[in-house]
Amino acid sequence: MTKKQASTDELVAAIIKGIDDVKGENIQLLDLREIENTVCDYFIICSGNSNTQVNAISGAIQKLVSKELKDKPWHIEGQGNSEWVLMDYVNVVVHIFQKQFREFYDIESLWGDAKITEINPV
């Protein structure tokens, strides 16, 4: 029996739920599929108020995606200082910033051609 691969939509939904579970803020979904030569289909960007919350968001995403979809990130960077944690799920890359670092790097404007959706979980 082969393992069923989770769809990108299921992965995006699980990541957003993980962010919301630990009160991640200002969640944005950047759809990169219409842009040539991108590294993935989606960026999910969110903010935390401290390095503790950034770590909590990262942990919540990993736990939820593992539990619901039996998937894990291909690569994670930035957990040492937790100012900006990048989680690479191949088709979806998650950026978790402390607020001041998100403002400084402003990656949303770097991908200005992407369709950006504000996510307001219930």
pLDDT digits (tens, 9 = 90+) for 12-43: 999 999 999 999 999 999 999 999 889 899 99
Closest among 65, 12, 66, 63 to 42, alpha carbons compared: 12
In a domain, 122, yes or no: no
Nearest Cα residue to 57 out of 104, 6, 22:
22
**Over 60: is that where the pLDDT of 1 sits?**
no
DSSP state of 106: -
Residue 113 lies in a domain: yes
Range of the domain at 88: 8-117
- In the chain, the number of structural domains is 1
Q: Cα 22–46–60 angle (5° rounding)?
A: 35
Is residue 1, in this structure, part of any structural domain at all?
no
Q: What is the DSSP code (8-state) at residue 69? A: H
Residue 64 located in a structural domain: yes
The contacts of residue 26 (CB under 8 Å, 6+ apart) are 45, 46, 47, 102
